[in-house]
Structure 1
């Protein structure tokens, strides 16, 4: 049987039985049905409900009764552009997930076509956990859980040589890569400002343009500490369960990079300035405490907070490029999301003196 599928209708009980057995489940799927879930811009996800035969796993609570299948979607032109992201997500589950002290869904199977334009992930269903909503923000308890979870990822690969060997698909920007990224951001910023000029404040327009100008030299401040970073660690990519338990999903922006980029991006987009401002020292402290718990040494709390300030360029970088390059249709909800993210990250950059810190 092919290890990946492009259409949920191609998934048969025999196919899913084989996949789950290969992943360690003693199960025989007799019947199944599926429904679409999520609103992914770079793929499609479906929840499969499984009827299993009683003689094979019928009474075993470890055997899944539902799983989530994530697969490629869209025309060939779009898939070709998204192929590096597909490689990253499949590569994360194959290579790094089992070693990462971050909560992620169990992966039963991660397969991909040779050209990376088709892939299939068979994942644990996180239900009844619900995804965060970027336009609604989150509670302080959820933010605390999220930064602690993030610290587990970063600590697991802190300045780790594994990031340099055996993962040719893993993104890692050097100085020339940063220069290219800066040109992309400058072009995207011009388009973003043109699209939303009526809604953006003059201060935010200025901050966006100044941020685009600072990215080329960003590596000078961020190449000293390196780990595996999610790259798009925000509320829409987190699943919150009871007692604010959190799982991270959507690993298509995976990168070997500066850890505080994830931290700064999350806190500056998840919390409006009036909530972030009085609580960010405590939240960054919770992240740092968890790093130390997981074994990161010689990294003082003061340096961690300065790194948080340095990482703030991640907000406009991902927001602006993500907005302009989005393959999905533009909607009123997406406009509100991108505008709130831009306004919140620009405010954080100004309040924390990030551009002055990076110019020193």
Structure 2
């Protein structure tokens, strides 16, 4: 087996010898003739590249292309999201084989320097197409997404081992931490409204502020059932290929009410009229898929209630992302679209009243 060179820091560091080293196995060496590296994706929290490879020796019928994730090129972004890098690597190292949610095959994962340097080599999902967060989706994609989500929640349902999993990035445990997140959320709401300006209507700004005022009691009063959460389960992190979907970007793993992931997807991905028309059926689809994984003692009425409560996840994650992420035109448009849809869902579903009651 070839010894892998150092973790590549830039795409120019991705050599044939590095790729051969990470793909080779004892007794089955791989020899690479050429590599071609091109950028893909939006690059908001990391750098993603497609590697096209030609082989001199390919004993394992390896594919002709891969997707490689490296840290962000911007030092400020990289330093801010190293916890997310650790979370994503932990997912592929310790979680992916224990759940049934569809994810790309992982060929290599390596991380060093407290997460500042890492390399994640995945199967290329082409010709699958990334969901469009700004445009939203229709019912076909929504059904694929909610059914797939059950494959994460079901196998981890109420298993206390996940509450102390070292790869968690977004779990908040203890009264002080919950109150701290509540305070940060209020601050993030104000920053978000200032940043987005006219992109947010006065009504949506009011809903955002009211929702962030309730983050602390929302977390304190959550039902005691829980599962492993993706944390940012939305269209930009889903790849669609006909009747198949693959889920990517595992940098926000957490543990909490499963309805948070479900509501976050529905609230950010569907236009309000379509969501109102289809959400009962979509939640029922998710619930049936959840039961198919072996979950018991969880009825459809409880699932619907968790969905209503979970809708606070939309303004929470959107505002935190908008307030503390690097500002871009597309990023602001995306956050505005997500908040517009999510705030409408909160009003339509009576989520704030449910929490205060």
Same fold? TM cut 0.5: yes
Deviates more, 1:159-168 or 1:178-187: 159-168
1:118 is matched with 117
CA distance in structure 2 between the aligned counterparts of 1:197 and 1:351, rounded to whole angstroms: 23
Query: Conserved in 2, the CA contact under 8 Å of 1:154 and 1:259?
Result: yes
1:286 is matched with 285
Deviation at 1:99, TM superposition (A): 0.7
Deviates more, 1:333-342 or 1:112-121: 333-342
CA distance in structure 2 between the aligned counterparts of 1:347 and 1:28, rounded to whole angstroms: 55
Task: Report the CA distance shift for 1:21/1:289 in structure 2 as closer, same or farther (over 3 A).
Answer: same
Query: Conserved in 2, the CA contact under 8 Å of 1:6 and 1:73?
Result: no
1:215 is matched with 215
1:346 is matched with 343
Deviation at 1:21, TM superposition (A): 2.2
1:52 is matched with 55
Deviation at 1:73, TM superposition (A): 1.7
Deviation at 1:2, TM superposition (A): 3.9
1:227 is matched with 227
1:34 is matched with 37
Task: Report the CA distance shift for 1:24/1:239 in structure 2 as closer, same or farther (over 3 A).
Answer: farther
CA distance in structure 1 between the aligned counterparts of 2:349 and 2:7, rounded to whole angstroms: 46
Task: Report the CA distance shift for 1:93/1:221 in structure 2 as closer, same or farther (over 3 A).
Answer: same
* SS of residue paired to 2:221: helix
2:247 is matched with 248
1:330 is matched with 328
CA distance in structure 2 between the aligned counterparts of 1:130 and 1:222, rounded to whole angstroms: 35
Deviation at 1:76, TM superposition (A): 3.5
Deviation at 1:40, TM superposition (A): 1.7
* SS of residue paired to 2:58: coil
CA distance in structure 1 between the aligned counterparts of 2:288 and 2:317, rounded to whole angstroms: 27
2:203 is matched with 203
Query: Conserved in 2, the CA contact under 8 Å of 1:178 and 1:218?
Result: no
CA distance in structure 1 between the aligned counterparts of 2:226 and 2:5, rounded to whole angstroms: 37
CA distance in structure 2 between the aligned counterparts of 1:305 and 1:166, rounded to whole angstroms: 28
CA distance in structure 1 between the aligned counterparts of 2:48 and 2:260, rounded to whole angstroms: 27
Tell me the alpha carbon deviations over residues 313-344 of structure 1, each in whole angstroms, 9 at most, x when there is no partner. 000011111112112x421x333221111111
1:189 is matched with 189
Query: Conserved in 1, the CA contact under 8 Å of 2:90 and 2:167?
Result: no
Number of residue pairs aligned between Structure 1 and Structure 2:
353
CA distance in structure 2 between the aligned counterparts of 1:23 and 1:11, rounded to whole angstroms: 22
CA distance in structure 2 between the aligned counterparts of 1:320 and 1:26, rounded to whole angstroms: 48
Deviates more, 1:85-94 or 1:18-27: 18-27
1:66 is matched with 65
1:13 is matched with 16
Deviation at 1:165, TM superposition (A): 4.5
1:87 is matched with 86
Query: Conserved in 1, the CA contact under 8 Å of 2:86 and 2:167?
Result: no
Task: Report the CA distance shift for 1:150/1:23 in structure 2 as closer, same or farther (over 3 A).
Answer: farther
CA distance in structure 2 between the aligned counterparts of 1:324 and 1:351, rounded to whole angstroms: 25
Q: Which runs of 5+ in 1 are unaligned?
A: none
Task: Report the CA distance shift for 1:292/1:173 in structure 2 as closer, same or farther (over 3 A).
Answer: same
Deviation at 1:206, TM superposition (A): 1.4
Deviation at 1:30, TM superposition (A): 1.8
Deviation at 1:132, TM superposition (A): 0.3
CA distance in structure 1 between the aligned counterparts of 2:184 and 2:274, rounded to whole angstroms: 32
CA distance in structure 2 between the aligned counterparts of 1:210 and 1:90, rounded to whole angstroms: 35
TM-score calculated relative to the size of structure 1: 0.93
